Amino acid sequence: MDRTRRRALQAGLALAGAALLPAAARERSHRAPIASTRSGRVLGLRDAVDGAADVLVFKGLPYGADTASTRFQPPRPEIPWRGVRDATRFGMHAPQNGELAPGGEDCLVLNVWTPALRDRAQRPVLVYIHGGAYNTGAGSDPLYDGVRLCRRGDVVVVTVNHRLNLFGYLHLGEFDTACADSGNVGQLDLIAALRWVREHAAEFGGDPGNVTVFGQSGGGAKIATLMAMPDAAGLFHRAMTMSGQQVTAAGPRAAAQRASLFLDALGLAPDRLDALRTLPIATLLQAAKTRDPSRVEDMSLYFGPVLDGRRLPRHPFHPDAPPQSAGIPMIIGNTRDETRAFLGNDPANHALTWAQLPERLRRHQYVDLPVETVIAEYRRLHPDWTPSRIFFAATTAGRSWRGAVQEAEARARQGAPTWVYQLDFPSPLDDGRFGAMHTLDIPLVFDTLRQPGSRTGDGPDAQRVCDAMSGALLAFARSGDPNHAGLPHWPRYDLDRRATMLFDVDSRVEDDPRGGERRLYERAPYVQRGTF
């Protein structure tokens, strides 16, 4: 998530709480919708879009209890309330470093946008899982506003908060069997949220038998992991991942080593885990900034899903696609210029010379191939490219894109229904220097081009791409196939054609559009960075 979006989200967050609406306020809000949940009634609000009928919005709905007293344990049900709970403000986001810091532990909340309540319309339910690399983010980002998507497709839209970073993925099971699930409680939160969605779908006008999960970056990775978790089986029926893959999970040894480094930063021995349950949030988040020695870049400790043999018994997409999800239709996508979002702010990266390229690429390439080999092959494939263009293409291919290829190939070998896309439409802002950057597909899918943090612009070209991408998601949610009238025919992905939808002002299908790069990076084995 870029800084602009973080600032917008931070500014827009309201105070969290379980405030019950006073009687006078309920009387003034007689037109506001009231829904019934398993723990009590909730009062939402109405949000009109483009002069159409109101969308009903419910924010900060609890799907689990405050986790402060149960750190590193699976989620527990929320505590019921009396009266009508105010659901007009976003709830607490998870503890985290960065511009949303510090957050709080009463963060198991979700938000719902729906055209109607209890009308038996059996609408598709779309559950969005936010990104942030398992470390940051919240479901209340303005780019995730569900009003336009809800109205455009006559669907129910849900966004979710859950535990992140050390609170959701610190593997303590090697030290204390009472914490056997701690490395995956963030995932278990998402499973609890999906169970809540299944239980309440009909109340909010949706179909519990037609739930689509979609997510970008870390959100896509969380979805890929859910596809291999037995506890998640049957809770969703379609999946769309956007620039987010999880081929391998953290091995238990590697995850335990990171936990040891974290404990060392706190000055705690492994036999003093009880202290972790009462230390202040800020103290724990500071210790999480410890450098991860397994990563090429200077990054803090990696916290992500753990191959614990319990909740996650296998790697998500290694050595093959998870059998439990073979029947789930899936869209796998990336953007053409992913790393311009991370590396494009440095002017030097836009003015590289051939002499500078090898060292710069060596620092940012996460596949262990000789940089001279990589550069030579790119120059052969694209003799007109500049050093900077090769730098951004190679770092993209060696980081996120290759994981997407691995997942698509595994699904193709399995015969599972899969469609692959690449976003080619470039951001028109900043003189186009960021191209089709990481996160650019979020507003194009949500139709939130005019929201704070959007980098798409709001001109007719951006709207045309938005219509194509948002329409594909809605068609997919409704039928399990993303084809619709606004697109050329989009074939399923297979190993013969490798058909890929290139979303642009004029979207088109191309077979194996980056075949040369794919064959180049196949020369090295793939292990998801940070997991070993």
- Count of CB atoms within 10 A of residue 31's CB? 8
Mean pLDDT of all residues in 512-521: 96
Q: What is the DSSP letter of 118?
A: S
Mean pLDDT of all residues in 234-261: 96
Residue 462 has pLDDT above 70, yes or no: yes
Q: What is the DSSP letter of 182?
A: G
Active site residue 217: yes
pLDDT of residue 1: 45
Distance CA 142, CA 159 (A): 11
Angle at CA of residue 447, ends 87 and 110, nearest 5°: 25
Query: Which run of H or E residues covers position 62?
Result: strand 55-62
Using alpha carbons, select from 307, 338, 300 the residue that is nearest to residue 136.
300
Mean pLDDT of all residues in 20-29: 47
Encoded tokens for 257? 């080593």
- The structure tokens 């291919």 sit at 397
pTM of the entire predicted model: 0.93
Mean pLDDT of all residues in 115-132: 97
pLDDT of residue 457: 96
pLDDT of residue 297: 64
Catalytic residue among 29, 162, 318, 338: 338
In percent, the amount of the chain with pLDDT more than 90 equals 87
pLDDT of residue 23: 47
Using alpha carbons, select from 120, 68, 70 the residue that is nearest to residue 94.
68
Active site residue 30: no
- Phi/psi for 66 (5° steps) reads -55, 130
| CB contact set of 272 (below 8 Å; sequence gap of 6+) | none
Using 50, 70 and 90 to split pLDDT, how confident is the model at 289?
very high
Mean pLDDT of all residues in 232-237: 98
Residue 531 has pLDDT above 80, yes or no: no
Using alpha carbons, select from 76, 68, 46 the residue that is nearest to residue 59.
46
Burial annotation 463-487 (CB, 10 A radius, 16+ → b, else e): bbbbbbbbbbbbbbbbebebbbeeb
48-52, 69-73, 270-274 — which one is most confidently predicted on average?
A: 69-73
Catalytic residue among 325, 438, 454, 507: 438
**Complete domains list, the chain, with CATH:** 3-242 (3.40.50.1820), 332-447+482-521 (no CATH)
Active site residue 489: no
- Count of CB atoms within 10 A of residue 50's CB? 8
Catalytic residue among 217, 325, 427, 454: 217
Average of per-residue pLDDT values in the chain: 93
Using 50, 70 and 90 to split pLDDT, how confident is the model at 20?
low
pLDDT tens digits, 349-367: 999 999 999 999 998 988 8
pLDDT tens digits, 54-68: 999 999 999 999 999
- The structure tokens 């053409």 sit at 336
pLDDT of residue 388: 98
pLDDT tens digits, 156-184: 999 999 999 999 999 999 999 999 999 99
Distance CA 440, CA 258 (A): 32
pLDDT of residue 485: 97
Burial annotation 363-393 (CB, 10 A radius, 16+ → b, else e): ebbbbebebeebbebbeebeeeeebbbbbbb
Residue 25 has pLDDT above 60, yes or no: no
Q: Cα–chain-centroid distance for residue 476?
A: 18
pLDDT of residue 16: 37
pLDDT of residue 13: 39
Prior bond of 460 cis (ω within 30°): no
pLDDT tens digits, 181-216: 999 999 999 999 999 999 999 999 999 999 999 999
Using 50, 70 and 90 to split pLDDT, how confident is the model at 234?
very high
Mean pLDDT of all residues in 510-520: 97
- Count of CB atoms within 10 A of residue 267's CB? 9
